[in-house]
Chain A
Amino acid sequence: MTESGMGAMGVVIAVLGGAVRVGTPFLFVSLGECLTEKSGRINLGLEGNLVMGAMSGYGIAYLSGSPWLGVLTAGGTGMLLGFVHALLCQQQRVNDIAVGIAMMLFGTGLAFFLGKPFIQPVAPHLPALSLGGWSSSPVIRAALDINVLFIIGALLAPAMSWFFRNAKWGFIIRTVGESRDAALAMGINVNRVRMLATMSGGFLAGIGGSFLSLYYPGAWNEGLSSGQGLMAVALVIFARWNPIYCLYASLLFGGAAALGPALQSVGITWGYYLFNAAPYVLTLGIMIATSSSKQRFAGMPGELGKA
């Protein structure tokens, strides 16, 4: 095989492997956002959950020596931020988009503050399943190291989809999201359902953050997240509020985000920063192409349209 032939193949394999690796945080955040939005509320602050999750997960994994304890802590932190978000949003006249922006700034600020001591130390990583042992190529082997969290997320997507369709609680969440008035008429406590949905969504986003710091890139620093939490919100719209589509969309976005590093790994450094913009351009392009000023999205929870 010629040098350039392997290079092109290498890029494809690195992008595919990257789709799984880079896509995992997208997956968790988008599933969390999907759950929250199904209850009729937007949480734009998941970026804060992601960064706080990354920081707290890394810190606890370092202090305790257990990466899984770190993952749980990250989820717990995310849940706490979700609680604050929900508490603020259920006050009168408080705008959930603005609260989301505030929680994003607060969460990242707090994570930078508390995370200072954890920039240097090395915490244990999450384990990965090596499915590429049969290959002698290090590129293929690296691409087939699948992290356990990705597998959990990939199973969670169909489970959540089943939950929305068949479980009683899934039905309650959808009712609250479709029509607040109908839910009230059925005697459902709307605020409590949205509170629980926002907290659970925050939990998942926090776990997505722990993946960033405990597996890939695999260290805590202040530049760890670059808007993945927000892109995940756009991704939910693209996925039409369907958890299974969230999985596919996360892989697509992960692949786009892996393009720059993959090209760099084979020596193409020109335009590295420009390729870094690929996921944002892709998100924006998809939003422009799929939105419409004439009609609502299919699958959009009814309460989301009301501002």
Chain B
Amino acid sequence: MPKLLESFAIPAAALLVSVILFGIFVMIAGTNPIEVMHSVYIGAFGSWFSWQNTLVRASPLMLTALCTAIPARIGLINIGGEGALVMGGLCAAIVGIQLNGLSPMFVIVSMVLTGILAGGLWVLAIGAFKYYRNVNETISSLLLNYIAIAVLNFLVVGPLHDPASMNKPSTYPIGKANMIGDIGNSSIHYGLIFGITTCVILWFAMRRTTYGFAVDMVGGNLRAAQLSGLAVGKLILVTCFLAGGAAGLAGMLEVAAVQGNANTSLNAGYGYAGILVAFIARHNPLAVIPVAILLGGIHASGGFLQRQFNLPDATTLVFQGIIFIVILASEAFYGRLRWFKPRVSTA
């Protein structure tokens, strides 16, 4: 029990410290920190309108967070969510454009599968480079992000360019009929359901199956896992595929529920924010859900802060950076605080 309490109390305390540091930062920038924090709250969770805004941003964050959280369990620090999202979205859009005109259900299912496959293979490559050639996965995943973005830019201004898209180079649209709609009469698209479901499924896979146990074993002690006969290579590849598939699905949803085509907005930083979500959630797929909603809220409040206090849109980036650093620093406190040590009974 004290251990469970610790895993809630330390991140909560770290978030509080981050809020204070951020408050000092905006105070130096010449605004009233209490008013700014109040506006962050209003912009994120203050009304049904802000809630919808928050949840729309939370769904891709859940999926890109899984892209870092799942490989972390096997001991890999993967930051390739951005690239997997871009590739998933791009390939899903290509399939959607090609199949446009067929039954929408069939088109959407094909796009979902394509998105998962494209993102999955993209990150699987990172795992393969690591396992077969011992290439540092953090660096290779980052390089692949830039490569994915270059491929996207090349295709949307070149071979796949829709001449009708003037200001923002885009591919042809996937067609109105093939778009994923909103839940009820809200402005939250069904991506949220996909995000939450994926988190729950992967939590189950990681915590309640022999596969998940094997992954934790490799992540905990590679030598022991090898000696006990686990197929480490296969586990790494499967884990990377699942991680990339989640981010690829996020890209597909951005295309099919928000953009309607593939364009440079796919590369909007969800992949990078997802890394932060994964670290705050301590790589637990279930904890990813509330953390993604929290971070989605901070994102959603960005525009509001800009209008109200004339703070640059990078303000939310600074806030996220502070949270990230404080959360990492808080790792040093696990197992070292007296309050969370099991009490020795004196009886």
In the complex the two chains form, what is the Cα distance from A112 to B316 in whole Å? 11
Complex interface: chain B residues within 8 A of A98 (CB): 77, 279, 328
Would you call B307 an interface residue if the criterion is a C-beta within 8 Å of the partner chain's C-beta atoms?
no
Given A88-B329, A105-B272, A271-B158, check contact A112 B317 (CB 8 Å).
yes
Known A91-B332, A93-B334, A102-B328: A288·B135 in contact at CB below 8 Å: yes
- Write out the residue numbers on chain B whose beta carbons fall within 8 Å of the beta carbon of A101: 77, 79, 138, 275, 324
Of the stretches A71-79, A139-147, A210-218, A278-286, the one at the interface is A278-286
Whether A116 touches B146, Cβ cut-off 8 Å, given contacts A102-B325, A274-B154, is no
A178 to chain B, nearest CB (A): 20
Minimal Cβ-Cβ distance residue in B for A106: B321
Q: In the complex, which of the residues A44, A93, A95, A102 contacts B321, with contact meaning CB atoms closer than 8 Å?
A: A102
* B131 interfacial contact with A, CB 8 Å: yes
Given A99-B328, A101-B79, A108-B317, the answer on whether A116 and B312 have CB atoms closer than 8 Å is yes
Are A287 and B151 closer than 8 Å at their CB atoms?
no
The answer, yes or no, to whether B136 is at the interface (CB within 8 Å) is yes
- Of all chain B residues, the one with the shortest Cβ separation from A230 is B142
Please name all residues of chain A whose beta carbon is closer than 8 Å to the beta carbon of B315 when the two chains form the complex. 113
Of chain B, the residue at the smallest CB distance from A281 is B147
Taking the closest CB of chain B, its distance from the CB of A148, in whole angstroms, is: 30
Contact bitstring B298-313, A, C-beta under 8 A = 1, else 0: 0000000000000010
Given A93-B334, A271-B154, CB of A287 within 8 Å of CB of B140? yes
Residue of A95, A112, A274 near B328 (CB, 8 A) is A95
For residues 280 through 307 of chain A, which have their beta carbon under 8 Å from a beta carbon of chain B?
280-281, 283-284, 287-288, 291-293
* Complex contacts, A227 vs chain B, CB 8 Å: 142-143, 145-146
Q: Complex: how many Å from CA A272 to CA B158?
A: 10
The reply to whether B135 and A273 form a contact with Cβ atoms under 8 Å apart is: no
Closest to A88 in B: B329
Which of chain A's residues have a CB closer than 8 A to the CB of B324? 101-102, 105-106
Min C-beta distance of A110 to chain B, whole Å: 6
B95 within 8 A of A: no
Judge if B87 is at the interface, Cβ distance under 8 Å.
no
A124 at the interface (CB under 8 A from B): no
| Chain A contacts for B154, CB-based, 8 A | 271-274
A109 within 8 A of B: yes
CA separation between A106 and B133, bound complex, in Å? 31
| Interface size in chain B (residues, C-beta < 8 A) | 45
* Cβ-neighbour of A103 out of B158, B276, B325 (below 8 A): B325
Smallest distance from the beta carbon of B277 to chain A beta carbons, Å? 12
Query: B37 near A: Cβ within 8 Å?
Result: no
Q: Which residues of A contact B147 (CB under 8 A)?
A: 277, 280-281, 284
Q: Which residues of B contact A173 (CB under 8 A)?
A: none
Residues 273 to 314 of chain B near chain A (Cβ within 8 Å): 275-276, 279, 312, 314
For the complex, count residues of A whose C-beta is within 8 A of B: 46
Contact A97–B135 (Cβ < 8 Å): no
Give A307's nearest chain B residue, CB to CB.
B75
Give the complex CA separation of A109 and B322 in angstroms. Answer: 10
B205 at the interface (CB under 8 A from A): no
Partner of B150, one of A97, A106, A277: A277
A15-59 contacts to B, CB under 8 A, are: 44
Among residues of B, the one whose C-beta sits closest to the C-beta of A87 is B329
Chain A residues within an 8 Å CB radius of B210:
none
A226 located at the interface, meaning its Cβ lies under 8 Å from any Cβ of chain B in the complex: yes
Tell me which residues across on chain B come within 8 A of A234, comparing CB atoms: 136, 139, 143
- B331 close to A (CB within 8 Å): yes
* Residues of A contacting B259 in the complex (Cβ-Cβ under 8 angstroms): none
Q: A94-B329, A101-B275, A284-B144 are in contact. Are A109 and B136 (CB under 8 A)?
A: no
Give the distance to chain A from B83, nearest Cβ to Cβ, in Å. Answer: 10
CB distance from A305 to the nearest CB of B (A): 10
Chain A residues within 8 Å of B228, by CB:
none
Contact A270 B158 (CB under 8 A): yes
CA distance A273 to B156 in the complex (A): 10
**Cα distance, A283 to B144, chains bound together (Å):** 10
Proximity string of chain B (150-163) to chain A, C-beta cutoff 8 Å, 1 when within and 0 when not: 11011001100000
Alpha-carbon separation in the docked complex, A89 to B279 (Å) = 16
A106 touches B318 (CB 8 A): yes
Rounded to whole angstroms, the CA-CA distance of A193 and B318 in the bound complex is 29
Chain A residues 145 to 189 lying within 8 A of chain B, measured CB to CB, are none
In the complex, chain B residues whose CB is within 8 Å of the CB of A107: 321
Give min CB distance, B127 to chain A, whole Å. Answer: 13
List residues of chain A with CB within 8 A of the CB of B146.
Answer: 226-227, 277, 280
Q: Which residue of A lies closest to B326 (CB)?
A: A102
Q: Are A44 and B129 in contact (CB under 8 A)?
A: no
Q: Which of B135, B153, B320 has the most C-beta atoms of chain A within 10 angstroms of its own C-beta? A: B135
Structural contact, A284 and B279, CB atoms closer than 8 A: no
Q: Which residues of chain A are within 8 angstroms of B158 by Cβ–Cβ distance?
A: 270-271, 273
A11 interfacial by beta-carbon distance below 8 Å: no
Interface assignment of A199: CB less than 8 Å from any CB of chain B: no
Beta-carbon nearest neighbor of B157 in chain A: A273
Question: Counting CB contacts under 8 A, is B48 at the interface?
Answer: no
A-B contact pairs, 22 of them (CB 8 A): A44-B139, A88-B328, A94-B331, A97-B77, A101-B79, A101-B324, A102-B325, A102-B328, A105-B275, A109-B317, A109-B321, A110-B318, A226-B146, A233-B139, A271-B154, A273-B151, A274-B150, A280-B143, A287-B133, A288-B135, A291-B135, A292-B134
| New A-B pairs, 16, CB < 8 Å, besides A102-B328, A108-B317, A237-B136 | A99-B328, A105-B317, A105-B321, A106-B322, A106-B325, A109-B317, A109-B320, A110-B321, A112-B312, A113-B29, A274-B150, A274-B154, A277-B151, A284-B135, A288-B129, A288-B135
Chain B residues with a Cβ under 8 A of chain A: 29, 77, 79, 129, 131-136, 138-140, 142-147, 150-151, 153-154, 157-158, 272, 275-276, 279, 312, 314-315, 317-318, 320-322, 324-325, 328-329, 331-332, 334, 336
Which A-B residue pairs are the 6 nearest by beta carbons? A106-B321, A109-B317, A112-B314, A277-B150, A91-B332, A102-B324
